[in-house]
């Protein structure tokens, strides 16, 4: 994986309900194919460390497992469509970028994330010739949440945004301790049973 310079902090946009699950230690992976407005034709890991920017557009209740649909209700209850700012509360480090190209391999992760089979299948089929990136994330909570203006540069269907208001390495604490995180990583790799490739 190519590592870019760290002069400008970046954020990965994810559904707000996903960011909450990551920040609460209920999830350590995300699935990406790239947004409609991507600069490149496929998803690329811009950096190994980044903020998590909650996005409220396009969240669909029916694409979450039943146990997490109430979480979406909680997220939306705190959201104002006319909000002028957005709050950053989580940071992540990508420890692996797994490439998945077939449904059989993707199905092995079924019990290890918050989304329905339909969501996972849709992600895999979008831009069919490109692999699905499954990022394994070590997630941290910021010691002080960062509230930033919600400018047009942060809107739209894109994976990455550059953050002018953020510092490169904020004060933060890991969501999961080392032992628990290692166990979660082992669980995912065991489920995949070597049937995947990682980006170098």
Q: Please indicate, yes or no, if residue 79 is contained in any of the structural domains.
A: yes
Q: Are 28 and 136 in contact (CB under 8 A)?
A: yes
Does any domain span residue 2? no
Q: Which of 51-55, 123-127, 170-174 has the lowest mean pLDDT?
A: 123-127
pLDDT at 113 over 90: yes
Confidence check: pLDDT of 4 > 60:
no
Q: How far apart are the first and last CA of the chain?
A: 5
- pTM score: 0.87
Number of domain units in the chain: 1
Torsion from C-alpha of 157, 152, 11, 186, nearest 10 degrees: -30
Span 161-174, mean pLDDT?
A: 85
When the pLDDT of each residue in the chain is averaged and rounded to a whole number, the result is 85
Q: How far apart are CA 33 and CA 129, in angstroms?
A: 11
Its domain, for residue 37, covers: 10-187
* 197 belongs to a structural domain: no
Give all strands (DSSP E) within 19-130, no chain letters.
Answer: 29-32, 49-55, 85-100
106 inside domain: yes
The lowest-confidence range among 18-32, 34-48, 72-86 is 34-48
Q: Is residue 200 part of a domain?
A: no
Q: Give the residue from 149, 147, 153, 157 showing the smallest Cα distance to 126.
A: 157
Question: Does residue 150 fall inside a structural domain?
Answer: yes
Residue 116 has pLDDT above 80, yes or no: yes
pLDDT bin (cut points 50, 70, 90) of residue 133 is very high
Could you report the per-residue pLDDT of 75-100, keeping only the tens digit for each? 877 777 767 788 899 999 999 999 99
In a domain, 192, yes or no: no
Q: What pLDDT is recorded for position 199? A: 76
Whether 138 maps to a domain, the answer reads yes
What is the pLDDT at residue 152?
67
Q: pLDDT: is 78 or 73 the higher one?
A: 73
- CATH assignment of the domain containing 46: 2.30.130.30
105 or 3, which is more confident? 105
The torsion angles phi and psi of 89, rounded to 5 degrees, stand at -125, -5
What is the mean pLDDT of the segment spanning 121-134?
85
């Amino acid at each position: 994986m190519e590592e870019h310079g760290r002069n400008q902090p970046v954020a990965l946009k994810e559904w707000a309900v996903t960011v909450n699950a990551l920040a609460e230690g209920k999830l350590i992976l995300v699935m990406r194919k790239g947004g409609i407005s991507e600069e490149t034709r496929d998803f690329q890991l811009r950096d190994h460390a980044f903020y998590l920017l909650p996005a409220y557009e396009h969240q669909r209740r029916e694409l979450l497992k039943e146990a997490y649909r109430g979480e979406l209700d909680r997220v939306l209850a705190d959201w104002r469509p006319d909000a002028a700012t957005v709050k950053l509360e989580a940071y992540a480090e990508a420890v692996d970028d797994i490439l998945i190209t077939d449904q059989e391999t993707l199905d092995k992760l079924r019990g290890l994330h918050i989304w329905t089979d339909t969501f996972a299948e849709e992600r895999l089929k979008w831009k069919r010739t490109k692999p699905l990136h499954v990022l394994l994330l070590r997630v941290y909570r910021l010691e002080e949440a960062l509230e930033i203006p919600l400018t047009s540069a942060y809107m739209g269907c894109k994976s990455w945004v550059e953050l002018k208001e953020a510092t490169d390495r904020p004060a933060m604490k890991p969501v999961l301790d080392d032992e628990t995180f290692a166990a979660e990583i082992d669980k995912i790799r065991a489920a995949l049973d070597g049937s995947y490739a990682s980006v170098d």
